[in-house]
């Protein structure tokens, strides 16, 4: 696959983002929604922060306390053998399981699509019990003059998908939870199909441990139903661990194209592609037999958590798919793939 990575990668690093408060530091920035807005390329970044910690004997974990209405910090003794610190993403105690970071959404803008100015303040910050451990991985869908942003909300009660709207990326109106735990990786199609809104999603089966792509429909973008399994993992190939939607689907002459992510049994995250029928997206017309992009660069293989390439949005312009992706759960990077090159690598049914 002919993937052209930017020579300036990573294009946004944690050091490029100002912390939201003086006692916090930005730990990583990644997994951004993407759109064109007022002539600029606009990214809605996931920014993860940790409390500044000068004590090597304790671990600090931030969370939103609904009672106080503030983000507060818990402390854990690193010498307590009952507590697990082996996964950098979590602290696990017999009485608690909490993320080591708390995420919010931040706007970044660029004239050339490579050099971005990141706003100093959060666009959306944790604000309720569903967002206890932060808000993550936004996808942006434009419908009419409104931008619909769905994002994962992490909390001790589960990971839900929530919806917000904006027209100016300054004022955001929360619409609440649209998919219950543990359903994430939601991408809303940018037009109605057969008079219904359609979304891809990824429910998780507690009984059988499956994480696969489903498809759902709605009449109002808030209440979703008619859920159907769309794509399952392939036990013998590169997507044999888990699979989920990444970018918002885009319409081509061949049908709806979805750039999706998948992980193998070793949690190596790659990107694939599939095509859905333009009038009935429950029908898969073609799908990747191998990744269209995999973590090979050093900044994709090593970081906060790697090897990972994770996508929440792309632009399709001049037959080119422009990918703004999270690398190793640490930074934002950029790459381009010709649409025809993607087509040539798919298996058609």
Radius of gyration for the alpha carbons in the chain, expressed in angstroms and rounded: 19
Q: Residue 34 has what pLDDT?
A: 98
Task: Express each pLDDT in 106-156 by its tens digit.
Answer: 999 999 999 999 999 999 999 999 999 999 999 999 999 999 999 999 999
Top CATH class of 3-348 equals mainly beta
SS3 for 344?
helix
Share of the chain above pLDDT 70, in %: 100
Identify whether 307 is preceded by a cis peptide bond (ω within 30 of 0). yes
Task: Express each pLDDT in 207-231 by its tens digit.
Answer: 998 999 999 999 999 999 999 999 9
DSSP state of 183: E
Q: Residue 120 has what pLDDT?
A: 98
pTM listed for this prediction: 0.96
The pLDDT of residue 203 is above 90: yes
The CA distance from 207 to 225, in Å, is: 21
Q: Residue 70 has what pLDDT?
A: 97
SS (H, E, C) 238-283: CCCCEEEECCCCEEECCEEEEEEEEECCCCCEEEEEEEECCCCCCC
- Residue 16 backbone phi and psi in degrees, to 5: -85, -5
| pLDDT (average), residues 317-344 | 97
Q: Residue 309 has what pLDDT?
A: 98
| pLDDT (average), residues 35-62 | 97
Q: Residue 235 has what pLDDT?
A: 77
Q: By C-alpha distance, which of 210, 205, 153 is closest to 179?
A: 153
The pLDDT of residue 234 is above 90: no
Q: Are 57 and 78 in contact (CB under 8 A)?
A: yes
The single residue listed with the structure tokens 């979590």 is: 90
The CA distance from 111 to 341, in Å, is: 27
Q: How far is CA 12 from CA 24, 51, 299, 310, in A?
A: 19, 21, 12, 15
Q: Residue 194 has what pLDDT?
A: 97
The CA distance from 301 to 309, in Å, is: 9
Q: Residue 154 has what pLDDT?
A: 97
| pLDDT (average), residues 39-50 | 98
**How many C-beta atoms surround the C-beta of residue 74 within 10 A?**
16
Q: Which two three-digit tokens encode residue 125?
A: 């910050």
Largest CA distance in the chain: 59
49-57: Cβ within 8 A, 24+ apart:
49/19, 49/20, 49/24, 49/25, 49/101, 49/102, 49/103, 49/104, 50/24, 50/25, 50/100, 50/101, 50/102, 51/23, 51/24, 51/25, 52/23, 52/24, 52/25
The pLDDT of residue 291 is above 80: yes
| pLDDT (average), residues 257-281 | 96
| pLDDT (average), residues 319-343 | 97
The pLDDT of residue 236 is above 80: no
Q: By C-alpha distance, which of 244, 233, 230, 100 is closest to 182?
A: 244
Q: Residue 332 has what pLDDT?
A: 98
């Amino acid at each position: 696959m002919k993937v052209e990575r930017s020579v300036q990668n990573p294009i946004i690093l944690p050091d490029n983002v100002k912390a939201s408060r003086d006692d916090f530091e930005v730990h990583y920035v990644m997994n951004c929604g993407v759109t064109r807005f007022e002539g600029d390329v606009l990214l809605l970044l996931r920014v993860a922060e940790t409390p500044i910690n000068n004590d090597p004997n304790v671990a600090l974990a931030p969370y939103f306390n609904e009672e106080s209405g503030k983000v507060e910090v818990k402390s854990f003794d690193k010498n307590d053998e009952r507590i697990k610190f082996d996964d950098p993403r979590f602290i696990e105690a017999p009485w608690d399981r909490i993320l080591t970071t708390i995420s919010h959404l931040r706007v970044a803008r660029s004239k050339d699509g490579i050099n971005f100015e990141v706003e100093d303040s959060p666009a959306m910050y944790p604000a309720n019990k569903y967002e206890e451990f932060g808000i993550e991985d936004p996808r942006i869908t434009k419908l009419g003059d409104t931008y619909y942003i769905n994002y994962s909300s992490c909390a001790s009660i589960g990971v839900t998908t929530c919806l917000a709207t904006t027209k100016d990326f300054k004022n955001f109106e929360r619409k609440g939870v649209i998919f219950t735990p543990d359903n994430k990786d939601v991408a809303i199609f940018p037009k109605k199909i057969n008079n219904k809104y359609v979304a891809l999603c990824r429910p998780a089966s507690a009984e059988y441990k499956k994480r696969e792509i489903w498809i759902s429909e709605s009449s109002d973008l808030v209440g979703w139903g008619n859920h159907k399994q769309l794509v399952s993992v392939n036990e013998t190939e590169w997507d044999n661990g888990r699979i989920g939607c990444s970018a918002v689907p885009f319409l081509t002459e061949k049908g709806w194209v979805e750039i999706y992510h998948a992980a193998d049994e070793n949690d190596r995250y790659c990107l694939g592609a599939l095509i859905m029928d333009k009038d009935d997206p429950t029908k898969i017309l073609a799908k990747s037999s191998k990744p269209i992009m995999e973590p090979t660069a050093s900044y994709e293989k090593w970081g906060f958590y790697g090897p990972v390439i994770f996508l929440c949005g792309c632009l399709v312009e001049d037959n080119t798919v422009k990918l703004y992706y999270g690398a190793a759960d640490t930074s934002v990077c950029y790459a381009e793939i010709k649409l025809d090159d993607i087509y040539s690598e798919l298996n058609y049914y």
